[in-house]
Each structure stands twice: as C-alpha cells, then as structure tokens.
Structure 1
Amino acid sequence: MTTFKHSILSLAIGLFSAMCIGGCAAEAAGIDEGTTADAVSESGNAKKSDYGYEMKDLRLVSGEAVPAADAVTPDGRVAPEEVLRQANAKIPALRACYAEALKKEPGLSGKVIVRMHVEANGAVSSSRVSGGSIGDAALGTCLAKELGSITLPAATKGVLEVIVPIELDPADLTKSAPAGA
C-alpha cells in the first residue's frame, strides 16, 4: 500500500512539475495564456478562438530577451514566446507610427490595446484597436496595421486570439531602440 501511495504522489508531483514548466516560460515572457477567447472580425462577424494570449504591456524600447522556446508547442499551439518575438520585431515600425502621431500632438501618451485574430495557418485575419486611453484613431490604425502584418507559424490547435497592450510614452522614443531597430 505504501508503494501505491508513493506512486500516486510521484505521479501528482510529475504532473504539477510538467504544468509549471509549460507555463513558466510564458509567465517569464509576461504572457497570460487563455484557453479560449472571443473575437470580432473586421466585418463584425463574431468568431470563436480556440485559445488566446494576453501579453504584458509592450514598450517601444523594451528589447527584452524572449525566453527560448519552439515556435509551436507540443500540443499544437503557437508558443507565446513566438508571439512575443514577432511583436518585438515590429517595434521599429510601431515607433515610427508613434513618432508620426507625436508630430501632431506632442506629449501624447497612454495605452493602445490591439486585438489580433490569427488563423490556424498563422496569418492574421484581423487586427484592430480594442481599447486603451489614447483617442488618436490614426495612431491606433497604424499600430494595428503593423502588428497585423506579422505571420506566425501554422498551428494544429486552431485559431488564436492575441491581445497586445502597447504603452506609449514620448520619453521612450528618446531612448535607443532595441537591437536591430
């Protein structure tokens, strides 16, 4: 009986460890994994996503290292680290959008939340502003367009919903851009 209890305990510890390891890289990347997410396409048709991620605030000078991970997880999802890598690659273009908006309104700051709907083949089918504290429509359109141009790897898990909050501060444009920007 004692051996059976130890086997159950070992199994429970192993499962807990596997769940923690699977989620720790995403947590280190600042991404909150969701199991499902609702989306609305550009045409207004409601779509249901198979899974989703809400990223931490993206700063235009972040250049943070992204934890190493495969682009697609063993269960067929696009890895959250891959989403973060792709978003970070767009920082130079996002900086250009923001710099243009600052020419019209110096001191413009706050947050813009971009929601992207990614099809199973990795193509972004919609990218739109879904909230935030900045009312500059042209800036929001530019940011959503740039993030919507990413291409993620195909995933067997299905459709992905990604929420990207972008924190905008004029001081960030005076700081050096991340490597490669």
Structure 2
Amino acid sequence: MLCEKCKKNEAKIHLIKLINRERTETWLCETCAKEISEISLISSLAPIEGASFQNILNGYFQVLNNNKKEKIEIICKNCGLTYSQFTSSGQLGCGSCYDSFSEFLRPMIKRIHGDLEHIGKIPNKSGNEFIEIKRIKKLKEELQKCISVEEYENAAIIRDEIKILENCKEVRSKNEELDR
C-alpha cells in the first residue's frame, strides 16, 4: 500500500483519528508521518519496534514477581508447567493452568479486561451446557439475595427452578453416557 500523502513510499504507519465519534484512517510512510506535527510519538516508538507480546508480558510478570517476598514455585497438576516457565514464555500449557496459577492470573486478567467473567460469544459446541451452568449460578446468587432479605416465597420459587434445571442436566448427562 502506498502512502496517502506522498503516493511514493510504502505506507507503514496506520493513523486512526477518533474525534467526536468520527473516525478517519490514514496510511503514511515513515517520512510523511514524521512531518506531521500531530505525531510526536513516532521517534519514541522506535525502541519498542522489536518487542513482542511475550516480551511485554514477561516484563510485567517480572515486576509482579519482584514485588512478592516469598518465591514459591507453583506447578500445574495437569501439564507440569511451572509458574516461572509461564512467566518466561507468556503461554499457558493447558486449561488447568488457569486454576493452578489463578492466584496470580486473576488480578492481572481483571486489570487487563476489567472483569473476571467473560461476557460475549459462546462456543457452538458447548454453548448450551455453558448457558445452563451460568443460569444455575445466577439463580443460586438470586436465591442467596432473597434469603438475606427474607423473601422466602421468591426463594422457594427460585430453589424449585434450580432443582428442575439441575435434574434436567443430570438426565442429559446420563443419556449421553448411555449413547457412548
């Protein structure tokens, strides 16, 4: 893609401006980008050109580890990955690593994403089961709220709904086992 300003050099910088919800995009070469006064950070970005996501994560984990007084090595029971291996590579070995390293991952995930609970798309294959589990969890939270404010009639209705959903879930899992 050619630079939109000089129309000679290859465009390497994608400039996106968002002003009053109005988005404009411009592709520029390095020379033209340096000429624009609005882009004063271009020269300061040069040193991080070769930085990868893993290197950035590695630095983040080192800061976290330096703040900890005790250094205890945690190992995932499923894949055997150690926490120090994770911090050096930035990659988890398996799904169980989230549970094994949850003490360290939860605060980081909350800072990065703003919350620990995923709100978004649900996978097609296991989506129904996931929705059902989430619904039961939400109903149990509502049940606790009703009990705490002494709304026992609503609590009984919610309790019965939870029982129905859990029974349906058990029947489905038994049927799946028989089908195998």
| TM-score interval for Structure 1 and Structure 2 normalised by the shorter chain | under 0.3
More helix by share: 2
Relative contact order: is structure 1 or structure 2 higher (C-alpha 8 Å, sep ≥ 6)? 1
Structure 1 length-normalised TM: 0.19
After TM superposition, the score normalised by the length of structure 2 is 0.20
Instruction: Name the one with the larger strand percent.
Output: 1
